[in-house]
Chains A and B, each alone.
Chain A
Amino acid sequence: MSGDDAIPEFSKAKAGAKAGDGHDVSLTNLSAFASGPGIRSGAEVAAIIAVAVVIIGGIELALRLFNVPHYIMPGPSAIAYALFDEFPLIAPHLGYTLVELVSGFAIGAIIGLVMAAVITQFPFAEKIVAPYILLLVTTPMLALVPLLILRFGFGYTPRIIAVALAAGPMVMINAATGFRRVDSAKIALARSYGASTLQIFWKIRAPMALPMILVGLMIGAIFGLLTAVGAEMVGGGFGLGNRLTTYSSMIQMPQFFAVVLILSTLGILIYVFFFLIGKKWASWEA
């Protein structure tokens, strides 16, 4: 395969000639963005719609054919009807969930970004806090919600804290990976013009980390959504999670699936939002 590439060219035989400077920059592939939505032609659009119609119509048909009762699995038409019919009732709950998600995510993301920027500047400190960060990333923050409710009551506060706790570490580990991607040649370039540490951070390190930061923000936002809905299911009287438990306990399955549909749409919107930002600001890498 690489037979042609293997022809030795003397001008390129400089690998390893450098003494002290690690020039081994591995650019992390932004596959999450590269493989994002990209519809090109009318024919593609038509094909996508045709496949959707076949799948959704097929499900509807199969459910009717086998007489599956509504409380086990409602058909797409029933779900669509419930979505329309119940939306005025669901909308305020969507609002509550969005408030929790946006404020919790903002708090978590800011703290995560600042911590990533700080710890990557001090490799020694990074070694010390690494196990705790791992703990934060791997602990399902939902587990803390009962405790948070006990301490902060049934309002927004415990959920916002839970969302921040879920999103923050995700943003932080990805951003830290980005900040660690040091290209010593680019830093040398900035230093050759007398750049300060702060200038090197804002003009070299931060732009280089941006693609990874965006990946972190996207994963953090999705984790935040999961945690917000989960926290609403655990306790308290509002939010989309609360709707899920309420509808399922009343065996109102079309309404239940309407809420699930809204949640999937939220997830997709989060993905598309960060995809578009990445396309605009980090396309130099993808």
Chain B
Amino acid sequence: MNAGSAKTSKLGVQDATKIYHTASGDLLALDRCSLDVHANEIVSIVGPSGCGKTTLLWSMSGLHRLTSGAIRLDGKEITGPHPDIGIVFQEANLLPWRNLDANIHFPFEIKGEKPDRAWIAHLIHRVGLDGFGGKFPRELSGGMQQRAAIVRALALKPSVLLMDEPFGALDSFTREEMNRLVEEIWLDTKTTIVFITHSIEEAIFLSDRVVVLSARPGRVAKEYRVPFPRPRSLEIMATKEVFDLTNTIKMDIVGERARPKARERATAEIVRIRP
């Protein structure tokens, strides 16, 4: 670790391997997957479905134990959920029996801490949910629910924010709006963000780097730098560079999807060899 260098690893994944023991046999989801996320960076992870993106993210959050390999936050290995890592889940995952305020205070309740009211009010204003604190999740649109979930995830001021396909269930206009919101929040807080998505456009718009995972077992197949300055506008998305990059990534994913059969066989062998 050369501390002080510009590219210090904030969240490091080293040789992450995850085997699920299922009724129909062992399943190798991640195979010696390594990835470094630098401080203040937005990294998106894309890949064919079932490639282990979510497994990777949940391992980074400390919610899933790896079969082997390590996750390091600021150089220290983490073995469970960490207060410095916030998570935004698929769907909003709000608690339906609590109103928005109570949902946002939930993390503080679990930790037994006093909510930082000024910071929460700032976040609520930032995502445009002023005056909705007394509303229940079912009274809000999917986009608004996900905004509240983002506030909840940022309420404890984590230095890393993991987002697991957070906007997958939203319509494309709301999704673009949410993407701009994430960038705004990033410009505001400079929180390191790891973002999982099915949408290559979303990945390019948001990220400094786009990481393509291989078909299962997941492993980093390709990595692309997205050089556009921030704040980015939607016009960028119409440029030839973005178009070409989108197609390149799409071809990567299609290529990965085309050879899962061979992989599956290899997996079976690996699993058999390992104790």
A residues near B (Cβ < 8 Å) are 10-14, 16-20, 185-186, 188-195, 199, 203-204, 207-208, 210, 282, 284-285
Contacts and interface: CB of A to CB of B under 8 A. Distances in A.
B95 A193 contact: no
A185 B87 CA distance: 11
Contacts of A20: 20, 22, 64
Contacts of B87: 189, 192
B61 A207 contact: no
A204 B95 contact: yes
Q: Which A-B residue pairs are the 3 nearest by beta carbons? A: A193-B110, A284-B96, A284-B97
Interface stretch (B34-42, B162-170, B176-184): B162-170
Given A11-B168, A20-B20, A189 B81 contact: no
Interface of B: 20, 22, 27, 29, 49-50, 52, 54-55, 58, 61-64, 80-81, 83, 85, 87, 89-91, 93, 95-97, 106-107, 109-111, 136-138, 156, 165, 167-170, 172, 175, 198-199
Contact of A192 (B29, B54, B61): B61
B165 A14 contact: yes
B49 A17 contact: yes
A208 B138 CA distance: 15
A18 B81 CA distance: 20
Given A11-B169, A203-B109, A210 B97 contact: yes
Contacts of B54: 17-19
A215 to B, nearest CB: 16
A282 B90 CA distance: 24
A34 to B, nearest CB: 14
Contacts of B167: 11
Contacts of A185: 89-91, 93
Given A185-B91, A193-B107, 19 more contacts: A11-B167, A11-B175, A13-B49, A14-B49, A14-B168, A17-B50, A18-B54, A19-B54, A20-B22, A185-B90, A189-B89, A190-B106, A190-B110, A191-B81, A192-B62, A192-B87, A193-B111, A284-B96, A284-B137
9 contacts: A13-B198, A18-B54, A20-B64, A185-B93, A188-B58, A189-B93, A193-B83, A193-B111, A203-B106
Contacts of B22: 20
Contacts of A207: 95, 97
Max chain A Cβ within 10 angstroms of own Cβ: one of B80, B110, B136, B165: B110
Given A14-B49, A189-B93, A284-B138, A194 B83 contact: yes
Given A189-B89, A193-B111, A207-B97, A10 B83 contact: no
Contacts of A186: 93, 95
Contacts of A208: 97
A18 B20 CA distance: 11
B46 to A, nearest CB: 13
What DSSP secondary structure best describes chain A's contact surface? Answer: helix
B273 to A, nearest CB: 21
Contacts of A203: 106, 109-110
B81 A193 contact: yes
A285 B96 contact: yes
A11 B90 CA distance: 12
Given A12-B169, A14-B49, A284-B138, A199 B95 contact: no
Given A17-B49, A210-B97, A284-B138, A188 B63 contact: yes
B143 to A, nearest CB: 13
Contacts of B52: 19
B93 A191 contact: no
A189 B93 CA distance: 8
B110 A195 contact: yes
Nearest to A285: B96
A194 B111 contact: yes
A18 B93 CA distance: 16
A17 B52 CA distance: 9
A284 B110 contact: no
Contact of A14 (B62, B90, B111, B172): B90
A285 B58 CA distance: 28
Given A14-B90, A19-B20, A194 B81 contact: yes
A22 to B, nearest CB: 12
Contacts of B137: 284
A11 B81 contact: no
A204 B98 CA distance: 11
A174 B96 CA distance: 20
Contact of B198 (A10, A16, A210): A10
Nearest to A195: B110
Max chain A Cβ within 10 angstroms of own Cβ: one of B83, B91, B168: B168
B81 A284 contact: no
A16 to B, nearest CB: 8
A10 B138 CA distance: 24
A10 B64 CA distance: 27
